[in-house]
């Protein structure tokens, strides 16, 4: 079954192979997949910008993400 739109969310702090596996699998069953980065105010964590780059650099070959 193909879905028109999908969403995959997480903190990705750090991004790991399980996240990438899930993103690739979700992308294979969606026309468009949106990856959403979450965070918790007041909690020390890796910057959103760095987590975005981690994700982008690993999924840029997927045209629908």
Residue 22 domain boundaries? 3-59
User: Do residues 35 and 65 make contact, with C-beta atoms less than 8 angstroms apart?
Assistant: yes
Residue 36 falls inside a structural domain: yes
Q: What mean pLDDT, rounded, does the chain reach?
A: 95
Report DSSP state, residue 46.
-
Q: Which pLDDT score, from 0 to 100, does residue 58 have? A: 98
* Total domains, the chain: 1
Residue 8 falls inside a structural domain: yes
Residue 65 falls inside a structural domain: no
* Cβ neighbours for 29, distance < 8 A, ≥ 6 positions apart: 1, 2, 3, 6
Residue 35 falls inside a structural domain: yes
Residue 64 falls inside a structural domain: no
User: Do residues 6 and 26 make contact, with C-beta atoms less than 8 angstroms apart?
Assistant: yes
Residue 13 falls inside a structural domain: yes
Residue 29 falls inside a structural domain: yes
User: Do residues 3 and 30 make contact, with C-beta atoms less than 8 angstroms apart?
Assistant: yes
20/13 Cα distance (integer angstroms): 13
User: Do residues 46 and 13 make contact, with C-beta atoms less than 8 angstroms apart?
Assistant: yes
Q: Which pLDDT score, from 0 to 100, does residue 41 have? A: 82
Residue 14: band (very low, low, confident or very high) from pLDDT cuts 50, 70, 90: very high
Residue 39, pLDDT > 90, answer no
Q: Which pLDDT score, from 0 to 100, does residue 21 have? A: 98
Residue 15 falls inside a structural domain: yes
Name the pTM for this structure.
0.89
């Amino acid at each position: 079954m193909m879905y028109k739109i999908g969403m995959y969310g997480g903190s990705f702090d750090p991004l790991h192979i399980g996240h990438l596996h899930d993103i690739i699998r979700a992308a294979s069953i969606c026309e468009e997949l949106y990856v959403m980065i979450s965070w918790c105010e007041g909690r020390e964590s890796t910057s959103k910008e760095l987590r975005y780059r981690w994700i982008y650099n690993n999924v840029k070959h997927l045209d629908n993400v």
